[in-house]
Amino acid sequence: MLQLQNKPYKEGVSVNPLAQVDPEIQEVLKAEIERERFRLQMIASENFSSPAVLEAQGSIFTNKYAEGYPNARYYQGCGPSDRVEQLAIDRVKALYQAEHANVQAHSGSTANLAAYMALLQPGDKVLGMDLADGGHLTHGAKFNFSGKLYEAHSYKVHPVTHLIDYEALAKQARELKPRLLIAGASAYPRIIDFAAMRSICDETGAYFLVDIAHIAGLIAGGAHPSPVPYADVITSTTHKTLRGPRGGFILCRNEFAKKVDAAIFPGVQGGPLMHVIAAKAVAFHEAHQPAFKAYAQQIVSNAKVLAEELLSRGFNLLTNGTDNHLILIDLRKENMTGADAARRLEEGGIVVNKNGIPDDPLGPRITSGIRLGVPAITSQGMREAEMHQIAGYIDQVVRGNGEAAELEKISNSVRELCERFPL
């Protein structure tokens, strides 16, 4: 029998080692449990992964180096690693009906870096959605690798409707002739027309990459159209609406498979995170279940009800509503910045993020908006009735006096609501 800090340690017997080894970190974990449990988690890119996902992610695969791919590794001892990675690949391919999958990307950003390396040469022109209009850093922002390595251009949403203007985009692409057109967003509340963007690529000779990080779970559950029939390469994270571990993956057509795999390893990464890949496999399995389809539909239904209730209370929402999991509130009419609203909401027990609006007069640290998301509270079991209740709390916080006593009262009500929906 092994000894752990003078206490007997036997295989298979739980000894709660973290509490013994590092009580300080154990305390922090307890604080995080309390924070996640008794406040409304409404950051659109967050979710609650299942105990099975957490167990796989916290598993013994943490110990293993497995550079390479299943049955083609650079180290010995990779039998179980091969099995788990192949399961993850097979499951995600089946989930999205994709020809090829790579499940090793450590994150969505790394997935995008590898996808660009597979398709482009440094200096090539890329065209992605403007970060200020809802795009992502890795879609060509000038302070990101994507804007430094490539000649990055951006398309904007329509100045009045705030929708993607596919005609304006086609005109821009005809003039620019980008090597790559990127679809996908971090803050866009409407369905993206992948077929329209594919036509633009066909006409202008661009590759088509779709970053589905935010909507991966909606697509898996049939609550958003799939880009698979249209895209050359698809990148994603696993931890947002898909409800898996923190990580990324890439799907592509077979013709790009070798380039994508080589771009991930040895192109931009070393050893894969086998524990995370095990957890991805679990998440893909969970997303195959009928209950996940119901979950994805419920996300959209909850978001729509929340949006309608906010609109009926006179809030100004970008695009006047939502088709997906997120809502953007333009706060200029409320005479409040995004930073102030987000801070106040947290004091009131509601966790969101400040978010820029198109052509935001305030900088990214202040902003004129906030982004709300419902994936986590939907995982918790909240439904339409709770969305009405939550809209009321948001209204009270944003339009209240902002004093500590008032925010504490709202936070107590939020706590009661959360207590009714255990994780």
Which positions are catalytic? Answer: 65, 67, 211, 237, 240, 246
Q: CB 137 → ligand DSN: shortest distance, Å?
A: 7
Identify which of residues 84 and 182 has a Cβ nearer to ligand DSN in the complex: 182
Question: Quick one: 185 or 233, whose CB is closer to ligand DSN?
Answer: 185
Which one of residues 40, 42, 45, 162 is an interface residue with ligand DSN (CB under 6 A)? Answer: 45
3-state secondary structure 128-181: EECHHHCCCHHHCCCCCHHHHHCEEEEECECCCCCCECHHHHHHHHHHHCCCEE
For the bound state, the minimum distance from the C-beta of residue 293 to ligand DSN, rounded and expressed in Å, comes to 24
CA–CA separation, 116 and 104 (whole Å): 16
Nearest approach in angstroms of CB 411 to ligand DSN is 23
- Closest distance to ligand DSN from the beta carbon of 27 (Å): 27
Question: How far is Cα 52 from Cα 48, in angstroms, rounded to an integer?
Answer: 11
Q: Which is nearer to ligand DSN, 108 or 375 (CB)?
A: 108
> Which of 188/256 has CB closer to ligand DSN?
188
Peptide bond into 178 cis (omega under 30): no
Task: Select 68 or 356, whichever has its Cβ closest to ligand DSN.
Answer: 356
Question: Is 232 within 8 Å of 251 (Cβ atoms)?
Answer: no
CB closer to ligand DSN out of 81 and 355? 355
Burial of 186 (C-beta count, 10 Å sphere; 0-12/13-18/19+): buried
Of residues 96 through 155, those in contact with ligand DSN by CB under 6 A are 108, 136
263: which residues sit within 8 A by CB, 6+ positions away?
Answer: 113, 114, 115, 117, 118
350-351 vs 40-41, strand pairing mode:
parallel
* Cβ atoms < 10 Å from Cβ of 15: 14
Count of residues touching ligand DSN (by CB under 6 A): 4
Least Cβ distance, residue 14 to ligand DSN (angstroms): 35
Cα–Cα distance for residue pair 306/329, rounded to 1 Å: 12
List the one residue from 110, 144, 186, 379 that touches ligand DSN (CB under 6 A). Answer: 186
Residue 143 C-alpha from the chain's centroid: 21
User: Closest residue to ligand DSN, Cβ-based?
Assistant: 45
Q: How is residue 414 written in tokens?
A: 């939020």
Which two structure tokens, joined as six digits, stand for 148? 């430094």
DSSP H/E element including 411: helix 404-419
136/344 with CB nearer ligand DSN: 136
Q: Say whether residue 322 binds ligand DSN (CB under 6 A).
A: no
- Please name the helix (run of DSSP H) or strand (run of DSSP E) that holds residue 262, with its range, or none: helix 257-262
Minimum CB separation of residue 133 from ligand DSN in Å reads 14
With beta carbons less than 8 A apart as the criterion, state whether 209 and 130 touch.
no
What residues numbered 248-287 form the site for ligand DSN, per CB under 6 A?
none
Tell me the H-state helices in 39-165. Answer: 51-57, 79-96, 108-119, 145-149
User: What is the nearest approach in angstroms of ligand DSN to the Cβ of residue 419?
Assistant: 27
Q: Which residues bind ligand DSN (CB under 6 A)?
A: 45, 108, 136, 186
